[in-house]
Structure 1
């Protein structure tokens, strides 16, 4: 086990706001009111001839749709989906396929009720403005979003509508959400999950599809594109990365390593003796995409797959259910992980709601137990996986929505979705070189609390990200590996920063950025390692590692014992990492670490400690970055023998710049002024060198 991983584990970020903003007790809110106060009822805002537009985005269903229920009370309703390149550019090809299948089913379902689904291409604000003028719409209904790029688009739509003066009452956006719990406002949402559980909130029941007003309008409803045409539309958009960067996302660390092993004559990571026999695809398969990896289609198709998933132990003679059971076994890389692997994309696109999944899971559990729920847990692993997953997703959605509504934090908090999971990040500065800060194991973006603004004020744009499994970012039931985290950092650079960065990481975060620089060097301008994890191994020539990360009873027990121990002695452990300035380990830091230790998914992250593989030597990873690597080493690090490590770096890492500091394991937080000065001077040196080379 790598010693740095035993330090301040699973920290929760500093409260990002001085006051909470209210949240609706029901589904409908007005976007004009930033405090999310309840909007007027439809009966007060509509008249006998008014029309509502329902803007579908990531809510591609009629079932359990509060926005549809309220919009259906208007005399006329126009359902709309906009193929907006700013949204679709974040989707991979498989997700684009899922969108098309879901929209096809959605249109059929609407037509059965005498309605229809309008299809348009372009920027949402332009499309909606034109439609509002054409049909004289009174309001536009849209789901609340937590992802930053979607909130930006909705802001532009709102501003566009506010500038319209065609009606006595300007049309506006009416926000809705599917309330998993009956939370009157976000002020009552505790920041700690254990305190949240003490509220004992019940899950609200899902809604049935309402009866819709007919769509008797002479309009051009538009045609759904083919997958090829849709991919062409997305690839031609200005929001899409350039082709070379798009290819980087398809090059996993495992693929690159396999190629290198193949060239060197080593054994491949794949087992060449393993043969997968692909069974014939059933006629009513719920795995609709070309890869056939995830559940898709319309809501009924997903509900059918969910019924099969929940009843895994019962067995079946149905071909389509047998296929679900086969996919479940393949996706169960750890206990319960198969549910999100199969149903995650459908949940993220809103083909089925989290609330509906929970309702169906509990309904089946009661069927198995004569109408009762046991206080000792669920009777099947599939019910546990589905119910626990959607409850966890809802918690993080609420937590991150609250941070988005705040205006009192030190940094602007934004949310990015990666592989279906919500990731918290910030960016400060609007000019200069791009810098990305990556925290260590158990930390979070606010661990750079006194670095972000200072580095930005020196003429840089600074991003900091809380990686999956830490802080307020989601902690899903997945297999956590150093390669997975490196790929997250890679995708963050491509999706969010969108240009090469100066990569900086502390502790295990330093190892992550070293991996990124090694596997995808085009993304890094330079590398700064602050008391980085990883070893210097003389004469290291080729990577030797396995992608298999097995869990066992030992890791299960070890994670729980480790968590118990940390809760008892966290303060003394963290203070030992700040030998010169223990006062920096303040009450906020300790309290947030303790509070985060109750987050759903924490134990899964802790289990990863026992399967980490840091065998790729730092000197090997950094070999191609000679002259572009800075090592900042706190020489009083209680975890690492800093003197020996520095000596090894000097001997085996030619061209690396080393700065030795009188500090512990986290010099950036213990002595931020000194570290900031070193980093800013380093960036200036590298940028000047790049400029000189470009001019020569």
Structure 2
């Protein structure tokens, strides 16, 4: 009942934002509604001089699921997926340092460095064991974490993770090798629309004013994202030697129309993992938890149920 009342209040705020306020206020209303429906709250934790922002919800005494976003994304990728988890799990969705509302120090953002920052964050929250879920770059980080800290990880779910050289090169890889512009880097509103079309088969419905505002924010982050992407390339850590170190059951979940990271990566990863499960979602792009959150959550919960 409390969640329903909170959602109704959030809906009223959203309607008010649509009628009276700026695109920023409208986006805030949408986000508030998503958080209320998911039972998530905004939190912040100081870790080694960094301010880490995150969402948290669900029973505190339950097993923890930590959600890790991809490159140029943030914790707002997860609430619509987390909605189906918080009734039985403690769910945490982090803004990695360098992204979202977390600190953005002049530092290295290669996946190895981010794994150790993530480890410090987990220690600061007093979490002993947990389930990890990561998308894209976040999956690369999650897999490397599970390889470095195998005793801490109850299960690992990788949604179209980076870090593997796929037998069939993705469209993104071909573009970059041919010297074409990186579609993940946004320098204009037109670039932002192209990014949405590149990431999703069916982009999430967004009011035009909100889409324009998000495009402005993406353009403002372009220089930072460009530096981080260059570091990810220059300080690349391949997962192939790391995957055999992972002890936890691992779900490989991919959209069959992913243009950023090709689904053939699964062919490389499955034989290197001790306990792999595979789900390929038809007619889905690179971020299944955003494009089809309920279906993605259903697959993930079935994977968790099979571990008991």
Q: State the SS of the aligned residue for 1:518.
A: helix
Residue 489 of structure 1 deviates from its aligned partner by 1.4
Match of 2:69 among 431, 439, 449: 439
Q: Does the C-alpha gap of structure 1 residues 480 and 650 become closer, same or farther in structure 2, counting only changes over 3 Å?
A: closer
Q: State the SS of the aligned residue for 2:83.
A: helix
CA distance in 1: counterparts of 2:35 and 2:80, whole angstroms: 13
Residue 520 of structure 1 deviates from its aligned partner by 1.9
CA distance in 2: counterparts of 1:611 and 1:536, whole angstroms: 18
* Corresponding residue for residue 647 of structure 1: 267
Match of 1:625 among 230, 246, 253: 246
Structure 2 unmatched runs, 5+: 1-9, 15-22, 168-180
CA distance in 2: counterparts of 1:514 and 1:573, whole angstroms: 25
Match of 2:83 among 444, 453, 474: 453
- CA contact 1:526–1:625 (8 Å) conserved in 2: no
Is 1:573 aligned with 2:195?
A: yes
Is 1:610 aligned with 2:240?
A: no
Q: State the SS of the aligned residue for 1:636.
A: coil
- CA contact 2:200–2:285 (8 Å) conserved in 1: yes
Mark the structure with the bigger radius of gyration.
1
Residue 639 of structure 1 deviates from its aligned partner by 1.5
- CA contact 2:153–2:248 (8 Å) conserved in 1: no
4+ long deviations beyond 6 Å? none
Cα-to-partner distance string for 1:651-678 (whole Å, 9 max, x where unaligned): 4445311111111101111111111011
Residue 191 of structure 1 deviates from its aligned partner by 5.9
* Corresponding residue for residue 136 of structure 2: 507
Q: Does the C-alpha gap of structure 1 residues 618 and 481 become closer, same or farther in structure 2, counting only changes over 3 Å?
A: closer
* Corresponding residue for residue 115 of structure 2: 486
- CA contact 2:65–2:131 (8 Å) conserved in 1: yes
TM-score for the superposition, normalised by structure 1? 0.35
Q: State the SS of the aligned residue for 1:534.
A: coil
Q: State the SS of the aligned residue for 1:443.
A: coil
After superposition, the CA RMSD in angstroms is 3.4
Is 1:519 aligned with 2:143?
A: no
Residue 568 of structure 1 deviates from its aligned partner by 3.2
1:398-409 equivalence runs, <5 A: none
Residue 497 of structure 1 deviates from its aligned partner by 5.1
Residue 682 of structure 1 deviates from its aligned partner by 1.9
Is 1:425 aligned with 2:54?
A: yes
Of Structure 1 and Structure 2, the greater strand share is in 2
1:121-132 equivalence runs, <5 A: none
1:4-19 equivalence runs, <5 A: 18=13
Match of 2:94 among 450, 456, 465: 465
* Corresponding residue for residue 477 of structure 1: 106
Cα-to-partner distance string for 1:458-499 (whole Å, 9 max, x where unaligned): x11111101111122232332322222111211121112522
Cα-to-partner distance string for 1:247-288 (whole Å, 9 max, x where unaligned): xxxxxxxxxxxxxxxxxxxxxxxxxxxxxxxxxxxxxxxxxx
CA distance in 2: counterparts of 1:619 and 1:461, whole angstroms: 31
- CA contact 1:434–1:499 (8 Å) conserved in 2: no
CA distance in 2: counterparts of 1:615 and 1:516, whole angstroms: 15
- CA contact 2:157–2:250 (8 Å) conserved in 1: yes
Q: Does the C-alpha gap of structure 1 residues 536 and 583 become closer, same or farther in structure 2, counting only changes over 3 Å?
A: closer
Q: State the SS of the aligned residue for 1:522.
A: helix
Q: State the SS of the aligned residue for 2:253.
A: strand
Residue 502 of structure 1 deviates from its aligned partner by 0.4
Is 1:661 aligned with 2:281?
A: yes
- CA contact 1:502–1:683 (8 Å) conserved in 2: no
* Corresponding residue for residue 495 of structure 1: 124
CA distance in 1: counterparts of 2:77 and 2:214, whole angstroms: 11
Is 1:674 aligned with 2:295?
A: yes
CA distance in 1: counterparts of 2:191 and 2:229, whole angstroms: 19
